[in-house]
Structure 1
Amino acid sequence: MTPLHDLPHLGSGLGYRREIHQPTMEHRDRIDWLEVISEHYLFASVQGRERLAELSAAFPIVPHGIEMSIGTPGEVDEDYLDALAALVEEIDAPYFSDHLCFTRAGGVSLGSLTPLPRSRALAKELGRKAQRIQERVGVPFILENITYHVDLRTELTEAEFIAELCEHCECGLLLDLTNLHTNARNHGYDAAGFLDAIPTERVVQVHLAGGTEAHETLLDSHSSPVPEPVWALFDELLRRAPLKASLIERDQDFPDDFGELLGEVERARSAMRAAAPA
């Protein structure tokens, strides 16, 4: 198993979406790597596999899951893990990622990334579970923080929960800085304090995206440019720890000018280069 600090430096990437396939391929020289949604390719059609082959011939690729549901009690489905391991091997992915949440309960899909009851016991259980998944797939597993609209009173804060989980596994973190900014703003806590409380040396990758606001609440819609407070958090994180990868996410309301996304990719790349040790 490759240690986190020995993972390749991927640079500044873009979340792949079929709606922007053509400009993504046309501007491959300005995008360092791509993140694909794992579930789109685990049991893909012939057309899907051909698209994946085209992408992997042009870019390094990391699979990012949305349906593992690590927080659901019990073990993750073996067929899912078999398919995920095969996907990782097929595209020679350096690591894979998914969300620290649950998406299924009682065998029913919830249709959303649902926050966990943040207890010390659950952090320990999920840390051990994540370690087993990592060993099963064969490359490092990195876990992403999510947004939540209701912050239930729990034993641990989100940052404490993440730190406790990391005590029980060797997995890395995918720190979604937009999610951090959104939660900090909506629930009234200090985002820099969150960074103080987590093991930033475990952060392998970040997500950068823009959202919307409704009724004085920020929504993580991935539908607009990365806002300045998120860029400021990115700079703050880079002062604390080196990163292997950054990623611009856009899921809807794609700009007519693809140069807008390329500009964000370049801004992230420049920030990472400026923060790199001499």
Structure 2
Amino acid sequence: MRRTVGLGLRREFLAEVLQQAPKVGFWELAPENWFPRGQTAYRQLDAIREQAPLTSHGLSLSIGSPDPLDVHFVQSVKQFLDRFNIEMYSEHLSYCSAQGQLYDLLPIPFTEEAVEHVVERIKQVQDILERPLVLENVSYYASFANELSELAFIRAVLEKADCSMLLDVNNVFVNSVNHGYDPYAFIQSLPSERIVYGHIAGHDEEYDDLFVDTHGADVKPEVWKLLEFAYQCHGVFPTVLERDFNIPPLPQLLNEASKIAKTQEFFTQQEHVNVI
């Protein structure tokens, strides 16, 4: 169902989730954060997925890396997804390794050569996972050797790899400020049929022309408006409220997530009226 709201599953409130079974549409987690934690953690996930479905958003795939694809890692991801009956695996359209782990999500140069490089790696990953790979548009603060716009690069990768998109609305807004483009035109130009779910998060405003995607604050009004526009353009899609730092009490997060649910309900009703 496209009208559903998710939260990132964090250790800070894991005990509360297990004890209280709060109502969420689904929980999002990073598989590699759970691999090393053993059977106790796996039993916790089994209990949580009795409450709500799980989906996955990875951190370490490094799809744009110049290094060879880490096939063993991808195979481990598949085993994890199969173990917990997780249908969707999303990652970042970026890279985080080059002759070793870089511990950051770095932008891929927007070039035709990079498109071909990434597309071949996506196909390899999808063959191993036996699932579509879902790729997120990322925030970035510098770009290099660009032949294409960010929008053209994303569209080319999605089309040539025949993969899906995770639309991070906050990343669009942050990039639009940092790189001087219209976020509404950007979102309107994305292919609706590729968008399978989304993210929304808070950011820090360091300077007038430098915003940082921190996931450490409440969602700003400008980003809420952009999410509404995304639903208007592409229809309602499942959306995760991300919060990785300065994590408030779980009831506060659930209250903020309820705003997504209300927005989804409004636009679902509008779609119904338009059909009638």
AA aligned opposite 1:19: E
Aligned match of 1:147 in 139, 145, 169?
139
1:32 matches 2:38: no
Query: Are the equivalent residues in 2 in contact too, given 1:124–1:164 (CA < 8 A)?
Result: no
Distance 2:17 2:220 in 1: 22
Matched AA of 2:185? G
1:27 CA drift (Å) = 5.2
Between the aligned partners of 1:17 and 1:45, the Cα distance in structure 2 is 17
1:13 aligns with 2:6: yes
CA positional deviation for 1:212: 1.4
1:174 aligned partner: 166
Question: Tell me, what secondary structure is at the counterpart of 1:131?
Answer: helix
- Conserved? CA contact 2:3–2:264, under 8 Å: no
Conserved 8 A contact 2:67-2:97: no
TM-score, normalization by structure 2:
0.91
Corresponding residue for residue 71 of structure 2? 78
More moved, 155-164 vs 66-75? 66-75
Unpaired segments of 5 or more residues in structure 2? none
C-alpha displacement of 1:121: 2.5
- Verify the 8 A CA contact 2:136 2:168 in the aligned structure 1: yes
Say whether residues 1:222 and 2:215 are aligned partners.
yes
* Identical counterparts, % of pairs: 26
Asked if 1:267 is matched to 2:259, the reply is yes
What's the CA shift for 1:199?
A: 1.3
How far apart in 1 are the matches of 2:177 and 2:119? 28
Q: Which runs of 4+ in 1 moved over 6 A?
A: none
1:161 to 153, 164, 168: 153
SS of the residue corresponding to residue 215 of structure 2 reads strand
Matching residue's letter, 1:114: L
Alignment correspondent of 2:192? 200
Give the corresponding residue for 1:103.
96
8 Å contact from structure 2 (residues 111, 145) kept in 1: no
Residues 84/25 of structure 1: CA separation in 2 closer, same or farther (3 Å cut): same
Deviations, residues 176-205 of structure 1 (Å, cap 9, x unaligned): 111111111122111012113321321111
Distance 2:188 2:112 in 1: 19
TM-score (norm 1): 0.90
Which amino acid in structure 1 is aligned with residue 206 of structure 2? A
Unaligned segments of structure 1, at least 5 residues: 1-7
Is residue 241 of structure 1 aligned with residue 234 of structure 2? yes
Distance (whole Å) between structure 2 residues aligned to residue 14 and residue 225 of structure 1 = 14
What's the offset of the Cα at 1:74?
5.0
Q: How many matched pairs?
A: 269
The answer (yes or no) to whether the contact 2:7–2:240 under 8 Å persists in 1 is yes
Query: C-alpha displacement at 1:275, in angstroms?
Result: 1.7
Following superposition, the deviation at residue 60 of structure 1 comes to 0.5
